[in-house]
C-alpha cells in the first residue's frame, strides 16, 4: 500500500514538472513574437523608398476633389514635368561670397581710380555704390584727409584675383571674407516654383472645362494666388542668382596723414609745447588780422553813415529845439 502511494505521488510530481516546462516554453515563444514583428516592421521601413520630393500641394478646387485616382496621376505628372530628382537637384552648389577690406593709402583719389579701372577692365563686374568725405586733421585743422567707401560686384571666378589686387594698393587695416551656402534653399525654392507652375497649368485646364460660374470664380482666384507665388519665388531666385554670380567686395579707403603732420604729432613734449605756443600765436595773429579785415570792409558803410549824419544833423537839432520850447511852455502854464 505504501509502495503504491509512493508511485502515485511520483507520477503526480513528474506530471507537474512536465506541465511547468511546457508552459515556460510557450511563454518564451510568445515573448519572441513581438521582437520578430518589430524586426519585420523595421526592415519594411528601411526598405521603403524615399518619396520626399513626391509630395504635391492640393489645389482645393471642386474638380480636383472628385477623383482620387486622377489626383495621384497628377502628382506623378507634376514630378515628371518638374524634371528634378534628389541626385540631379544638388549637382550645382550655390555659394554667396562677400568681403570687406579697410585700406590705408597714400592718395585717396589715385586708389579710387585704380579700383574703378580694375572693375572696368575685368569686364565682368560693376560698381554698386560709393561715398567719400573730407575730414579735418585734429592736429592741423587747416589740412584735410579723404576717406570713403566703395562697394563693387565682381564675377565669382575673379573674386580672389580682384581681392589680392586691391590689397596690394595699400596697408590692410582690416579684412573679412565670408561665404553663405544657399544650395538647399535655392533648389527647394526651384522645386516649389516647378510645383506651382504645374499646379497653374492644371488649374488652367480645369478652367477651360469649367461651366459653372461659381467654380470658374474659385478657379480664377486660385490661379491668381498660384501665379503670385510663382512670380515671388522667381524673384527670389533671380536675386540669389545675381548674388552668386557676382560676389560683393566692400572697400573702406583711408588716406594717410601727410608726413610732415605725422612727424609733428610724434614730437617730444618740449616740441609739443613749442608747437602749441606757435599755434596760439598764429591763431592770435590770424584773429587780429580778421578784425582788421572786418574794419576795412566796414569803411564804405561808415562813410555812408557819416554823410547821412551830416545831412540829417540840422533837421534833428531843429526838431529837438521845438520839443524843448513846448516843454518849457507846458511847465510855465
pLDDT in tens, 4-13: 554 555 656 6
Is 5 contained in some domain? Answer: no
Same domain, 190 and 254: yes
Same domain, 247 and 262: yes
Q: Which tops the pLDDT comparison, 196 or 77? A: 196
Q: How far is residue 97's CA from residue 246's CA, in Å, rounded to a whole number?
A: 8
Same domain, 85 and 190: yes
Same domain, 119 and 251: yes
CA atoms within 13 A on the CB side of 163: 20
The length of the chain is 333
Over range 264-284, report the average pLDDT: 72
Domain end (from 223, 238, 266): 266
Is 73 contained in some domain? Answer: no
pLDDT at 78: 38
Same domain, 112 and 100: yes
Is 35 contained in some domain? Answer: no
Over range 19-38, report the average pLDDT: 44
Is 319 contained in some domain? Answer: yes
Is 66 contained in some domain? Answer: no
Over range 152-160, report the average pLDDT: 90
pLDDT at 272 over 80: no
Number of domains in the chain: 2
Computed over every residue of the chain, the mean pLDDT equals: 74
Over range 66-79, report the average pLDDT: 38
pLDDT at 45: 35
- Sequence-distant (≥ 6) Cβ neighbours of residue 137 within 8 angstroms: 143, 144, 145, 257, 258, 261
Domain around 243: 79-266
pLDDT at 74: 39
Same domain, 161 and 223: yes
User: In this structure, how many other beta carbons lie within 10 angstroms of the beta carbon of residue 120?
Assistant: 11
Q: How far is residue 122's CA from residue 142's CA, in Å, rounded to a whole number?
A: 39
Lowest mean pLDDT among 67-71, 85-89, 200-204: 67-71
Return contacts of 109-113, CB within 8 angstroms, 24+ apart. Answer: 109/146, 111/169, 111/170, 111/253, 112/148, 112/150, 112/253
Report the percentage of the chain scoring pLDDT > 70. 63
Is 236 contained in some domain? Answer: yes
Same domain, 251 and 128: yes
pLDDT at 261: 56
Over range 255-275, report the average pLDDT: 65
Give the tens place of pLDDT for each residue, 310-323. Answer: 888 887 877 777 77
pLDDT at 290: 87
190 phi and psi angles, rounded to 5 deg: -60, -45
DSSP string, 69-111: HHHHHHHHHHHHHHT--HHHHTSS--EEEEEEEEEEES-HHHH
Q: How far is residue 52's CA from residue 267's CA, in Å, rounded to a whole number?
A: 72
Q: Where are the alpha helices (DSSP H) in the chain?
A: 2-47, 68-82, 86-89, 108-122, 159-167, 183-209, 213-245, 259-265, 269-332
Contact 111, 261 (CB under 8 A): no
Same domain, 135 and 195: yes
pLDDT at 88 over 50: no
Q: Are strands 95-105 and 246-255 parallel, antiparallel or unpaired?
A: parallel
pLDDT at 145: 82
pLDDT at 7: 57
Q: Is 303 exposed, middle or buried (0-12, 13-18, 19+ CB in 10 A)?
A: exposed
pLDDT at 306 over 80: yes
Same domain, 205 and 325: no
Give the tens place of pLDDT for each residue, 197-252. Answer: 999 999 999 988 888 898 889 999 999 999 999 999 999 999 999 999 999 999 99
Q: How far is residue 117's CA from residue 165's CA, in Å, rounded to a whole number?
A: 12
User: In this structure, how many other beta carbons lie within 10 angstroms of the beta carbon of residue 300?
Assistant: 9
DSSP label at residue 266:
T
Same domain, 260 and 322: no
DSSP helix/strand/coil, 301: helix
Same domain, 91 and 130: yes
Same domain, 129 and 209: yes
Domain end (from 243, 266, 289): 266
Q: How far is residue 116's CA from residue 129's CA, in Å, rounded to a whole number?
A: 11
pLDDT at 183 over 60: yes
Amino acid at each position: 500500500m505504501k509502495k503504491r502511494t509512493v508511485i502515485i505521488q511520483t507520477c503526480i510530481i513528474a506530471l507537474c514538472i512536465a506541465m511547468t516546462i511546457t508552459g515556460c516554453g510557450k511563454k518564451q515563444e510568445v515573448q519572441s513574437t513581438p521582437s520578430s514583428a518589430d524586426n519585420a516592421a523595421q526592415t519594411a521601413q528601411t526598405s521603403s523608398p524615399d518619396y520626399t520630393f513626391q509630395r504635391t500641394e492640393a489645389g482645393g478646387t471642386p474638380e480636383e476633389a472628385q477623383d482620387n485616382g486622377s489626383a495621384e496621376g497628377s502628382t506623378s505628372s507634376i514630378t515628371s514635368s518638374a524634371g528634378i530628382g534628389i541626385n540631379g537637384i544638388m549637382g550645382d552648389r550655390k555659394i554667396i561670397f562677400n568681403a570687406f577690406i579697410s585700406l590705408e593709402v597714400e592718395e585717396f583719389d589715385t586708389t579710387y581710380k585704380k579700383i574703378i579701372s580694375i572693375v572696368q577692365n575685368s569686364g565682368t563686374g560693376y560698381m554698386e555704390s560709393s561715398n567719400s568725405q573730407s575730414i579735418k586733421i585734429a592736429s592741423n585743422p587747416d589740412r584735410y584727409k579723404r576717406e570713403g567707401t566703395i562697394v563693387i560686384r565682381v564675377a565669382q571666378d575673379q573674386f580672389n584675383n580682384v581681392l589680392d589686387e586691391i590689397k596690394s594698393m595699400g596697408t590692410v587695416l582690416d579684412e573679412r571674407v565670408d561665404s553663405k551656402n544657399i544650395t538647399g534653399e535655392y533648389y527647394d525654392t526651384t522645386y516649389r516654383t516647378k510645383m506651382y507652375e504645374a499646379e497653374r497649368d492644371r488649374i488652367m485646364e480645369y478652367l477651360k472645362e469649367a461651366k459653372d460660374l461659381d467654380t470658374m470664380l474659385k478657379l480664377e482666384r486660385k490661379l491668381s494666388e498660384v501665379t503670385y507665388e510663382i512670380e515671388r519665388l522667381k524673384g527670389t531666385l533671380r536675386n540669389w542668382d545675381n548674388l552668386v554670380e557676382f560676389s560683393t567686395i566692400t572697400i573702406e579707403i583711408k588716406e594717410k596723414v601727410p608726413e610732415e603732420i605725422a612727424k609733428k604729432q610724434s614730437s617730444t613734449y618740449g616740441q609739443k609745447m613749442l608747437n602749441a605756443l606757435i599755434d596760439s600765436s598764429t591763431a592770435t595773429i590770424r584773429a587780429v588780422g580778421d578784425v582788421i579785415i572786418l574794419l576795412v570792409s566796414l569803411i564804405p558803410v561808415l562813410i555812408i553813415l557819416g554823410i547821412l549824419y551830416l545831412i540829417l544833423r540840422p533837421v534833428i537839432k531843429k526838431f529837438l529845439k521845438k520839443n524843448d520850447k513846448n516843454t518849457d511852455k507846458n511847465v510855465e502854464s
